[in-house]
Amino acid sequence: MSNRQSILASVLGLWARDFRVLRREWMPFMLRTIMNPVLSVFVFTYVLPRTGQNLPVAAGAGTMATVLVPGLIAIAMVFTSIAAVALPLSIELGATREIEDRVLAPIPLATVPLAKVAFGAFQGVLAGAVIFPIIIALPATEVHIRVASWPLLALMVALSSWTAASLGLFLGTVVRPQHIGLMFAVILTPLMFLGCVYYPWASLSAIPWLQVLVLVNPLVYMSEGLRIALTPDVPHLPMAAAAGMLFLLATILTMAGVRGFGKRVVG
């Protein structure tokens, strides 16, 4: 067997194990995927309009439901991809050292974390697909969706899911198992509320310092990228800026995560 075939066989073996785990734990996967988006859609686009308390949206943004669609898909992808990579990895690198069984395979060390990122990105795409019909059907107000370009949508989904999974790899290598719960409170909660999920980035022009500050948040580019592809009539970042930053962040986070993985395993 050639070296390339050996690597492919090892990666398929890693994915087969992950698929078995996902199949066995499909209910927790569904719950952690849909809980936040469903509650957000229910409150912001069903309860508030029905009680006469519509939230104002930016000029040209349409309804609140339309603004929420890309952001909530991005949130589902981010939380699912991060949880799929960071949580198991933190445990495997912890006291059990379960990861050692995988790195003993006759393949380059970087193959193991990259395989984890790829499978985490797949789960992110799956989560986005699950959320999409829910946030279209549930709102009491009209949702205006217009796919600007299917190739553009595929590109934004692929870049967003890989960026989220690579962030999960990075966090899984730097956050100790005993602090993994704190990670969600300290890192992921600000990520969500300052990620242009509930408002377009352009609407932050009223708060210039915040509009600049949130540009360090990867979720901003995921939300805005999906907004470009799904709701192009809503104000958004330029396509080149969103796609370029997602590619740059995915590259940096992947490299940092692979390096951190190597240090944790060798150390």
pLDDT above 80 for 259: yes
Provide Rg for the chain, Cα atoms.
Answer: 19
pLDDT above 70 for 8: no
**For range 8-36, the mean pLDDT:** 67
- The pLDDT tens digits of the residues spanning 229-239 come to 998 888 889 99
pLDDT above 70 for 210: yes
- The pLDDT tens digits of the residues spanning 55-100 come to 555 545 567 777 888 888 898 888 888 888 888 787 777 655 555 5
Q: What pLDDT is recorded for position 152?
A: 93
Contacts of 82 (CB under 8 A, 6+ apart): 120, 164, 165, 167, 168, 171, 188
**For range 16-45, the mean pLDDT:** 70
| CA proximity to 122, closest of 245, 11, 202 | 11
Query: What size, in residues, is the chain?
Result: 267
Q: What pLDDT is recorded for position 21?
A: 66
| CA proximity to 222, closest of 204, 236, 205, 202 | 236
Q: What pLDDT is recorded for position 3?
A: 60
pLDDT above 80 for 135: no
pLDDT above 60 for 101: no
**For range 202-228, the mean pLDDT:** 93
Return the structure tokens found at 6: 């050996």
Q: What pLDDT is recorded for position 231?
A: 87
pLDDT above 80 for 215: yes
Other beta carbons within 10 Å of 174: 16
Residue 253's pLDDT band (cuts 50, 70, 90):
very high
pLDDT above 90 for 167: yes
Dihedral through CA 70, CA 73, CA 74, CA 79, nearest 10? 160
- The pLDDT tens digits of the residues spanning 108-129 come to 777 888 888 998 898 889 888 8
Which residue blocks in 145-238 are alpha helix, DSSP H?
150-174, 180-183, 189-193, 208-213, 218-230
CB 164 within 8 A of CB 222: yes
Q: What pLDDT is recorded for position 5?
A: 62
Q: What pLDDT is recorded for position 154?
A: 93
| CA proximity to 232, closest of 261, 259, 189, 200 | 200
Q: What are phi and psi of 20, to 5 degrees?
A: -65, -40
Q: Which domain holds residue 114?
A: 3-266
**For range 205-212, the mean pLDDT:** 92
**Range of lowest pLDDT (21-30, 67-76, 183-192):** 21-30
**For range 205-222, the mean pLDDT:** 93
| CA proximity to 72, closest of 223, 245, 176, 214 | 223
The three-class DSSP label of residue 200 is: coil
Give the number of domains in the chain: 1
The pTM is what?
Answer: 0.84
**For range 230-255, the mean pLDDT:** 92
Q: What pLDDT is recorded for position 53?
A: 57
